[in-house]
């Protein structure tokens, strides 16, 4: 049954990370599409493909297709265009792909005009810290690295960026308020960090004025995901 499609103003993006469709549909069929948007990442997209994206959209949810494109400009442009053809709400790609790649992606969706998906650039994964960068011979701090990639993303016409919550205030101070800020790595007090090194709490996310927060495992790995989801919505 198709759920009614209304303008969704929620800040919460639920990262739908499951090995099977039934677990995902259990959550989707028991929540209101107005309560959260849905992130479909690599695992579920590879397992179930574009048809699953369309199934989620047919239930009334806005879909953030989080495949983090990073390749030569022509390939990324075509991948972004193909994603936009699915009617998704938001698409991610890596800012480290550089100006030509980012601009090619932006140009690829101009034909959609008002229906263009939001295009966001990932600055750095929240599983990284300064030591991780140093091991790759990146000698700048995460703060400097994220700020530089944020400037590049803004100059290339990206609608927003994905960044650690710890860097949000610094970006607002130095880059301005034009970019939408999307932050993963949100952790509830009783949940471990897992492989996340750059995390913030729900309270901090609210105080920092982040546009969209992405929460996955604290909800999906819970024994009672619907209860946890409703508690998070109440706090937001």
> Residue 4 domain-assigned?
no
- Assigned token pair, 34: 């107005």
pLDDT computed for residue 188 by the predictor = 63
Domain carrying residue 80:
12-235
Distance of CA 178 to the CA centre of its chain: 17
Report residue 110's pLDDT band, with 50, 70 and 90 as the boundaries.
Answer: very high
Residue 25 has pLDDT above 50, yes or no: yes
Domains contained in the chain, number: 1
Average pLDDT of the chain is 89
Residue 155 has pLDDT above 90, yes or no: yes
Most confidently modeled of 2-11, 59-68, 197-206?
Answer: 59-68
Average pLDDT, stretch 152-175?
95
pLDDT computed for residue 151 by the predictor = 96
Cα end-to-end distance, the chain, whole Å: 28
CA distance 158 to 142: 20
Residue 159 has pLDDT above 80, yes or no: yes
> Residue 131 domain-assigned?
yes
pLDDT computed for residue 3 by the predictor = 43
Task: Return the DSSP state at 117.
Answer: P
What residues form DSSP beta bridges with 9? none
Residue 191 has pLDDT above 90, yes or no: no
Report residue 194's pLDDT band, with 50, 70 and 90 as the boundaries.
Answer: low
pLDDT computed for residue 141 by the predictor = 87
> Residue 123 domain-assigned?
yes
Where residue 116 sits, what CATH number does that domain have? 3.20.20.70
> Residue 1 domain-assigned?
no
Cβ burial 185-197 (10 Å sphere, 16+ → b, else e):
bbbeeebeeeebb
> Residue 227 domain-assigned?
yes
Question: So which residues are the catalytic ones?
Answer: 68
pLDDT computed for residue 150 by the predictor = 96
Q: Considering the chain, what percentage of its residues have pLDDT values greater than 70?
A: 92
pTM: 0.89
Report residue 17's pLDDT band, with 50, 70 and 90 as the boundaries.
Answer: confident
DSSP states of 201-215: -HHHHHHHT-SEEEE
> Residue 3 domain-assigned?
no
Per-residue model confidence as pLDDT tens digits over 120-132: 999 988 788 888 8
Average pLDDT, stretch 59-83?
97
């Amino acid at each position: 049954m198709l759920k009614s499609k209304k303008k969704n103003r929620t800040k919460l993006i639920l990262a739908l990370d499951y090995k099977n469709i039934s677990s995902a549909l259990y959550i989707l069929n028991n929540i209101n599409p107005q309560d959260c948007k849905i992130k479909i990442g690599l695992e579920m997209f590879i397992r179930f493909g574009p048809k699953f994206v369309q199934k989620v959209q047919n239930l009334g949810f806005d879909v953030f297709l989080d495949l983090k494109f990073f390749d030569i400009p022509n390939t990324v442009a075509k991948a972004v265009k193909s994603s936009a053809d699915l009617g998704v709400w938001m698409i991610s790609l890596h800012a480290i792909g550089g100006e030509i790649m980012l601009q090619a992606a932006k140009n690829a969706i101009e034909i959609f005009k008002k229906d263009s998906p939001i295009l966001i650039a990932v600055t750095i994964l929240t599983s990284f810290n300064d030591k991780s960068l140093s091991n790759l011979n990146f000698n700048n701090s995460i703060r400097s690295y994220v700020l530089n990639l944020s400037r590049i993303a803004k100059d290339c016409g990206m609608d927003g960026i994905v960044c650690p919550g710890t860097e949000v205030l610094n970006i607002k101070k130095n880059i301005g308020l034009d970019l939408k800020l999307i932050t993963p790595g949100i952790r509830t007090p009783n949940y471990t960090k897992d492989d996340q090194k750059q995390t913030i709490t729900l309270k901090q996310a609210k105080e920092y004025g982040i546009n969209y927060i992405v929460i996955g495992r604290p909800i999906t790995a819970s024994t009672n995901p619907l209860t946890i989801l409703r508690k998070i919505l109440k706090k937001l």
